[in-house]
Chains A and B, each alone.
Chain A
Amino acid sequence: MTASAQELSVFGIVAAILVWWALKLTRPLWLPSVTGWLLRHGRVKWAMRLRFGKRCH
């Protein structure tokens, strides 16, 4: 792998982590509208999974 390809991979990984952290930290802001949208479209399981994680039986 060339040095520039390595550099590109590194920036990709860092960008993905930053997006993950941004979503994690702003969860209370986007969660109600996203779960609402999923419920309106009949995706109950997805909505419950997103809201409660694996703890939802």
Chain B
Amino acid sequence: MSATDAPKMIALAGLPNCGKTSLFNALTGSRQKVANYPGVTVERKEGAIGLPDGRTLRVLDLPGTYSLDARTPDEAITRDVLLGKIQGEDPPVALVAVADATNLERNLGLVLELRDLNVPLVLALNMMDLARKRGLELDLVRLSVELGIPVVPTVAVKNLGLNELLAAVDEALRANPAAAPRTEWKRSDSASVRARFSEVDRVLKASTKKSGTPALWTERLDRIFLHPVLGFVVLASVLAFMFQAIFSWASIPQDWIEQGVAAFGSWVGSLLADGPLKSLLVDGVIAGVGSVLVFLPQILILFSFILVLEDSGYLARAAFIMDRVMGGVGLHGRAFIPLLSSFACAIPGILSTRTIANPRDRLATILVAPLTTCSARLPVYTLLVGAFIPDQPFFGPFRMQGAVLFGLYLAGTIAPLTMAWLFRRTILRGPKPPLLMELPTYKLPSLKGVLLGLIERAKIFLRRAGTVILSLSVLVWFLSSYPAPPATAPGPAEGGAPAIHYSYAGRLGHAVEPLLKPLGFDWRVGIALIPGFAAREVMVSALGTVYALEGDETQVEKALGERLAVSWSLATALSLIVWYIFAPQCLSTLAVVRRETNTWKWPLFLLGYMTALAYVASFATFHLVGWLWGSA
């Protein structure tokens, strides 16, 4: 295929949260994350659409930008793509300016800038249903004449106006194929910004028949959700309910998975004669992967809450409330979204710091994002909380296990904020950044969007279980099984040590034991912590394998939590939980920090400070709990 035959590319550009990603999904059928707060589009997203005449167009979903006078790295990406300045990226042959019809005063400024690029342009007036509901009446023909570009009303989430939009793009391409696009952009001075907004006022006055009224429900709800005191009470209650639900609702499907894994292990064991392959499959693969798979229901419950809250518009309010706290510790208001994303995984969180303009603000966010409680920590937390914290009433409808999990997530919120405060007053000193936040209107969450998000999360989890966790479980099994004990060594029945003591992993575990002993960890935890650096939840599967190999036949079908409950003290369990709050147990995160900061200095600093924090905090926890309960 020659370059001239290749499908041409059009780009979607607009302000954050104007519905670009929804429109992109509706046009291309692509499955990707659609969020209800600004700045979600950071990575490059491309799809394809077919025109009525059979031709195909490539569609690029650009990061949201308020202006082509880019202030942040992701806004600069949008400007550079539009000017054809990104190497290896074809400049778009036409643009679709996506504007939120409920907030045209803010959106049309960018449309005027895009018009100046001399590229065929079509304006998609998105969310027209909401605008009409609020009483806005526009003369679309007049708006089109005043702007000098085709205007198409759309409702992306309901797939409305898409054919008309495609026809308008096709028409614009045919009518103006030989435009000379601009390749340079001169930063606007204050006079040209004022002139642009005067032009927006003029265009709107000329084309508005009736102005809309603000959404009443949004105002009423915001009086509660954004209240300085009530807002925090609501947020704390929502989070407490969510963590309680993670334990209560997940227990039944978790029991099913546990029973299924045990039955599958017994079935596979009955097919094979005793030997290394049987041990690999039963003790390595099934015990290892099974002990992580069991946490799938909890992860899905956590994400169903996050997706519903996000889609409804409440998360943006939570961000607004937390904004005050974050401003207080010297973090930029935009840091909330990277930190919130880090509750899923620190990697997208760190990538989304590209929306922060100031390099110091961005670096402070990158350095603290891995302290946020990512979903890979959840299996470790729930395993240990389930095994060591009694399931008894705590306060009102809340139970002890849910309360402890809530406390762990609170620690994963306080720790990054505290470290950010420290960094902003020492190594990353700078002026206090201003706060700026855009709040979307409330809406009923879309069931389809939530389900797609959950399927995506389940796929990510199962893919990890089937690749990284499976392969590491096999390697942990191998290192825990070879070399075999000498022929003369007494077996466990004669009072000798289990075979794992003679293995590579056993020796490695014993070698690191003196370092870990002050934290209350024995050689078995040492074995599990090492592969846990590749992915946190592998610690659970490695413990599953180690205990499966060490235990006798009668223990094999016991769940890992039950075995830990009788083998460990409360002090050891809490010390390991605290280790996981702070430890930088994720090589991929360190690799992404290296990529984003373009130096090894900051990932090494991150590794050093988080390891030191984890060690000191675990040491203190182990000895304090041992002293208080006498169980160390």
Measured CB to CB, the residues of A under 8 A from B are 1-3, 5-7, 9-10, 13-14, 17-18, 20-21, 44, 56-57
Contact = CB atoms under 8 A, between A and B. Distances in A.
Contacts of B471: 17, 20-21
B48 interface: yes
A7 B276 contact: yes
B464 interface: no
A17 B275 contact: no
13 contacts: A1-B272, A1-B273, A1-B277, A3-B273, A3-B275, A3-B276, A6-B277, A7-B277, A10-B280, A13-B474, A14-B475, A17-B474, A20-B471
Contacts of B30: 57
B278 interface: yes
A-B complex: 7 closest residue pairs judged by Cβ atoms: A6-B277, A6-B275, A3-B275, A17-B471, A10-B276, A14-B478, A9-B277
Contacts of A10: 276-277, 280, 478
Contacts of A18: 475
Nearest to B478: A14
Given A1-B272, A7-B277, A13-B280, 17 more contacts: A1-B277, A2-B275, A3-B273, A3-B276, A6-B272, A6-B273, A6-B275, A6-B278, A9-B277, A10-B276, A14-B474, A14-B478, A17-B474, A44-B1, A56-B46, A57-B28, A57-B30
Contacts of B277: 1, 5-7, 9-10
Contacts of A1: 272-273, 275, 277
Given A17-B475, A21-B471, A57 B47 contact: yes
Nearest to B278: A6
Contacts of B278: 6
Contacts of A14: 474-475, 478
Interface of B: 1, 28, 30, 46-48, 272-273, 275-278, 280, 471, 474-475, 478
Contacts of B275: 1-3, 6-7
A7 B483 CA distance: 12
A9 B478 CA distance: 12
Contacts of B46: 56-57
A14 B504 CA distance: 15
A10 B46 CA distance: 42
A2 B277 CA distance: 10
B494 to A, nearest CB: 22
A45 B47 CA distance: 15
A10 B282 CA distance: 13
Contacts of A13: 280, 474
B509 to A, nearest CB: 19
B12 to A, nearest CB: 15
Contacts of A56: 46
Contacts of A20: 471
A23 to B, nearest CB: 12
Contacts of A2: 273, 275
A5 B30 CA distance: 47
Nearest to A14: B478
Query: Which one of A3, A6, A17, A56 has the highest number of Cβ atoms from chain B below 10 Å of its Cβ?
Result: A6
A14 B474 CA distance: 7
Contacts of B478: 10, 14
B48 A57 contact: yes
A30 B474 CA distance: 26
A4 to B, nearest CB: 9
Nearest to A4: B275
Nearest to B45: A55
Contacts of A21: 471
Contacts of B276: 3, 6-7, 10
B545 to A, nearest CB: 14
Contacts of B273: 1-3, 6
Contacts of B47: 57
Contacts of A9: 277
Nearest to A3: B275
Query: Which one of A1, A10, A20, A57 has the highest number of Cβ atoms from chain B below 10 Å of its Cβ?
Result: A10
B57 to A, nearest CB: 12
A44 to B, nearest CB: 8
A5 B478 CA distance: 16
B328 to A, nearest CB: 39
B462 to A, nearest CB: 15
Query: Which one of B28, B47, B48, B275 has the highest number of Cβ atoms from chain A below 10 Å of its Cβ?
Result: B275
Query: Which one of A1, A21, A57 has the highest number of Cβ atoms from chain B below 10 Å of its Cβ?
Result: A57
Contacts of A5: 277
Contacts of A57: 28, 30, 46-48
A54 to B, nearest CB: 10
A57 B1 CA distance: 16
